């Protein structure tokens, strides 16, 4: 073998060795991911525990107040599972709620926005018992829907859909232990703001005056600053979900449930529900009717907001 042949053979052998090492490195199994510890709920030291079929409620409120909230969230759980029966499987794992005795105690422990009355921070919902309010439990109901969306349904939704379902169910009528989805309770948020929405009947004028958020902007999160228009947003969230469930005797209800299960993207909205411009017009008219109904109710009952 010539010197050149020996050199070529050595290079080829070297490449084969390197290739073998590289091949072995690529074939090695990846290390197992380090498990991320589950977040822990922040539970007040003085809280007592009430367990129900689906919840663990840590409460500093009075026992009868805690029981009232417990009954309300259990009725919500039943309504949620019935509404989404073909999309959501029941969970055997109890859900965690933290109930404060009053708003002052809640605010001292608030880890959400300053204006929040309640919030869901995985794995727990945090709210207070609204003493003196007609519906002292409805803040907890709203947050419990967020918890169900995330921990039971496993959905990851944009704000309009996540808050829409929470507003829709959280503001539904609860009587004799039964929550009726879609029958809105005028003594709950955001319904009590509905008569102040001041839509004029001109969609474009209301958009220009920031009384109405265009549907595409709402779906894609491009509307006005929510910190300056909190109530406006929550009325839109609630109103769009109510529309999608009940317009023309539930014309869009099944499509909306499918949309939620897919993540509620704008392309899926147009594919399953319809063109945004057409839906927007029908939804705007639906809101006008809802405002008129609320104004009539308040006039008949002497309610001033």
Q: What's the CATH code, domain 39-154?
A: 3.40.30.160
Beta bridge partners of 96: 56, 124
**Cα(42)–Cα(60) distance, rounded to whole angstroms?**
13
**Cα(136)–Cα(146) distance, rounded to whole angstroms?**
18
Task: List where CATH 3.40.30.160 sits in the chain.
Answer: 39-154
What tokens does 29 get? 């199994």
The Cα angle at residue 138 between residues 136 and 141, in degrees rounded to 5: 135
Report whether 24 contacts 45 (CB < 8 A).
no
Task: Specify the pLDDT at position 182.
Answer: 94
pTM given for the model: 0.86
Give percent helix, percent strand, percent coil of the chain, each to the nearest 5: 50, 10, 35
Task: Specify the pLDDT at position 26.
Answer: 32
Q: Which sign does the torsion angle of CA 278, 279, 284, 289 carry?
A: positive
Strand segments, DSSP code E, in the chain are 48-51, 55-59, 95-100, 118-121, 124-128, 172-175, 178-184
Written as tens digits, the pLDDT of the chain (305 aa) is 444 443 334 333 333 323 322 222 333 444 444 444 557 899 999 999 999 999 999 999 999 999 999 999 999 999 999 999 999 998 889 999 999 999 999 999 999 988 899 999 999 999 999 987 888 999 999 999 999 999 999 999 999 999 999 999 999 999 988 999 999 999 999 999 999 999 999 999 999 999 999 999 999 999 999 989 999 999 999 999 999 999 999 999 999 999 999 999 999 999 999 999 999 999 999 999 999 999 999 999 988 87
Task: Specify the pLDDT at position 115.
Answer: 84
């Amino acid at each position: 073998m010539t010197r050149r042949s020996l050199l070529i053979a050595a290079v080829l052998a070297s490449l084969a060795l390197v290739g073998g090492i590289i091949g072995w490195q690529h074939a090695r199994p990846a290390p197992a991911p380090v498990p991320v510890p589950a977040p822990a709920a922040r539970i007040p030291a003085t809280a007592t525990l009430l367990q129900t079929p689906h919840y663990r409620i840590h409460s500093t409120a009075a026992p009868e107040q805690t029981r009232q909230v417990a009954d309300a969230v259990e009725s919500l759980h039943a309504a949620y599972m019935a509404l989404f029966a073909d999309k959501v499987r029941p969970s055997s794992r109890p859900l965690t709620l933290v109930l404060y005795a009053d708003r002052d105690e809640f605010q001292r422990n608030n880890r959400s926005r300053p204006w929040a009355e309640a919030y869901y921070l995985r794995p727990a919902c945090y709210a207070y018992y609204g003493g003196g309010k007609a519906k002292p439990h409805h803040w907890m109901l709203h947050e419990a829907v967020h918890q169900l969306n995330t921990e039971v349904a496993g959905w990851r939704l944009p704000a309009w859909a996540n808050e829409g379902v929470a507003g829709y169910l959280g503001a539904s009528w609860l009587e004799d232990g039964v929550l009726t989805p879609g029958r809105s309770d005028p003594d709950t948020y955001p319904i009590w703001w509905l008569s102040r929405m001041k839509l004029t009947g001109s969609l474009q004028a209301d958009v220009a005056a920031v009384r109405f958020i265009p549907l595409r902007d709402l779906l894609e999160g491009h509307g006005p600053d929510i910190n300056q228009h909190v109530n406006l947003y929550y009325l839109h969230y609630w109103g769009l979900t109510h529309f999608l469930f009940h317009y023309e005797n539930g014309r869009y209800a099944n499509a909306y449930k499918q949309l939620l299960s897919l993540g509620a993207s704008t392309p899926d909205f147009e594919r399953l529900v319809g063109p945004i411009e057409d839906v927007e017009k029908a939804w705007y008219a639906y809101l006008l009717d809802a405002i008129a109904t609320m104004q009539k109710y308040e006039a008949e009952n002497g309610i001033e907001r």
